[in-house]
């Protein structure tokens, strides 16, 4: 595990990402890979993965990616817009999220993320967000 991944996993303790158990597997400029191991706390009343769990994974992956892809003089970022298309679900195992930078400008970044079920390999959600770069 890289020092960046270890530091980010540690930094999320006590935050939403840490509380729900998000794990980061890879990160570099323009890309992040993360995983959520499904537990009962991540499910909706119907026994399927709650949409909020999926969105938390995708949004956190894009946020982590933005933080490692900021221009040198930037001090941070804020989410301006997000959208999720949920196309499937999972009940057990894990889901993985790959987030990719589509646009890395001076004032905004646009990220896409795909969430897939580890058991079936099927895409269960597509996510896009726009981040405002702060100076």
Domain ranges in the chain?
3-134
pLDDT higher than 90, residue 1: no
* Rounded distance between C-alpha atoms, residue 5 and residue 92, angstroms: 25
CATH topology of domain 3-134: Thiol Ester Dehydrase; Chain A (3.10.129)
Predicted pLDDT at 123? 98
Predicted pLDDT at 78? 97
**DSSP letter at 105?**
-
Reported in sequence order, the residue ranges of the chain that DSSP labels E, i.e. its strands, are 22-28, 31-37, 76-86, 94-104, 108-117, 123-134
Query: Tens of pLDDT along 28-69?
Result: 999 999 999 999 999 999 999 999 999 999 999 999 999 999
């Amino acid at each position: 595990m890289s020092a960046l991944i270890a530091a980010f996993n540690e930094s999320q303790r006590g935050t939403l990402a840490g509380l729900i158990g998000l794990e980061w597997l890879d990160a570099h400029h323009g890309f992040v890979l993360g995983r959520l191991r499904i537990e009962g706390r991540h499910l909706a009343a119907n026994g399927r993965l709650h949409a909020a769990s999926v969105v938390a994974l995708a949004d956190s992956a894009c946020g982590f990616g933005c933080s490692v892809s900021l221009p040198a003089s930037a001090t941070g970022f804020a989410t301006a817009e997000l959208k999720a298309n949920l196309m499937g679900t999972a009940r057990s195992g894990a889901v993985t999220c790959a987030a990719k930078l589509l646009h890395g400008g001076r004032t905004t970044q646009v990220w896409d993320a795909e969430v897939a079920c580890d058991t079936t390999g099927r895409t269960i959600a597509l996510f896009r967000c726009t981040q405002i770069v702060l100076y």
